[in-house]
Amino acid sequence: MTFLVDSSSRVVSVLIALLWTLTGCLAVSSAVLDTCPPAPPEAAQWQKLNDEAEQAYSDSNFGVAELLLVKALDEAKKQHFESERARTLNSLGVLKQEQKRYSEAEKFLTEALSIREKLLGENHQCVIATLIDLGGLYEDEGKAKAAESMLLRALKFSESEGEDSLQLAVVLNNLGSLCYSLHKKEDARRYLKRALSSYRKLRPDDPQIRAIMQILLNLYQSAHQYDEFRSLYVEFARGNPNANPRSLLKAAHVTAQQADELATAGLLGDAETMYNRSLALFEASAQSDSEDCKSVKAAYLKFQRRSKETSDFQDRTKTSQPD
């Protein structure tokens, strides 16, 4: 099948590149969660230092943030503000992790966790927030079992808050990302589908949604679950900021040509993925009933028959070979 496509078009080439590259989502810090109780009025000086430190951190002025957090920690100790001390320790742990000073980060976060568990109980939101951060730290350190242990504890406690909880969405996201990196694909798919559902309800414009979708697309592709793949890919393509019906249609044509070329070259797995991407792009551009889309569907069916014949022949050849 041949389409007349201006494949040099900048919009189409940018779109193809963005839709081709499927990367993984990163773990989310508990910083996105507003879980800490407000400081008492008498902790005004601590609050001032903490606010200035948070601003410095958001501006990537990590040295200034560290100095301010150390002062805030001293203030909390002096005034015996245990909840605020734990919050500052947690912030210092996250900062040290950002600086890749992992042993210091672990010291601060484990102390924060200990204080929070004693003050608030093990299933309090602040405790869960520290478990999330410890999970992220252990993952960065390559301590996969420890990371999974922290996140499973966080999952157990956050599930008691119900499905419509941003904290649960973050835990599910981080567990899914961790399982994906550990090649636990079934677990990753299960966690990330729940995370995606929660983010859609609670934060429909959060960029983390597209990151989760990218990993799920990879998982569906590797499992040959192409019905799920196409359905999600339609949404993913339409949500691309560079996309419009015309550019999506052009991308569908280019992708179909690439699928044909891959099939001809005998790269069957890559070809099957590209056929499904092309069909999803036709649907995303509202052209799934067009003659061009029908041609791609026919080519894909022919490809599937040929692939099955090849697979059956290889199986018969293996069976007929002497031991």
pLDDT at 9: 41
Is residue 238 a part of any domain in this protein? yes
Is residue 90 a part of any domain in this protein? no
From CA 5, how far away is CA 28, in angstroms rounded?
A: 40
Residues 231 and 291 in one domain: yes
pLDDT tens string 204-263: 999 999 999 999 999 999 999 999 999 999 999 999 888 899 999 999 999 999 999 999
Q: Which distant-in-sequence residues (6+ apart) come within 8 Å of 7 by Cβ?
A: 13, 250, 254
CA torsion 4→6→8→12, rounded to 10°? -110
Maximum mean pLDDT: which of 98-107, 239-248, 266-275: 98-107
Is residue 6 a part of any domain in this protein? yes
Residues 211 and 239 in one domain: no
Residues 245 and 218 in one domain: no
Number of domains in the chain: 2
Q: Is 121 helix (H, G, I), strand (E, B) or coil?
A: coil
Is residue 135 a part of any domain in this protein? no
Residues 210 and 242 in one domain: no
pLDDT tens string 30-56: 665 556 778 889 999 999 999 999 999
Block residue for tokens 């069916």: 301
Determine the structural domain holding residue 246 and report its residue range.
1-26+226-306
Residues 256 and 289 in one domain: yes
Residues 169 and 234 in one domain: no
Residues 179 and 208 in one domain: yes
Is residue 84 a part of any domain in this protein? no
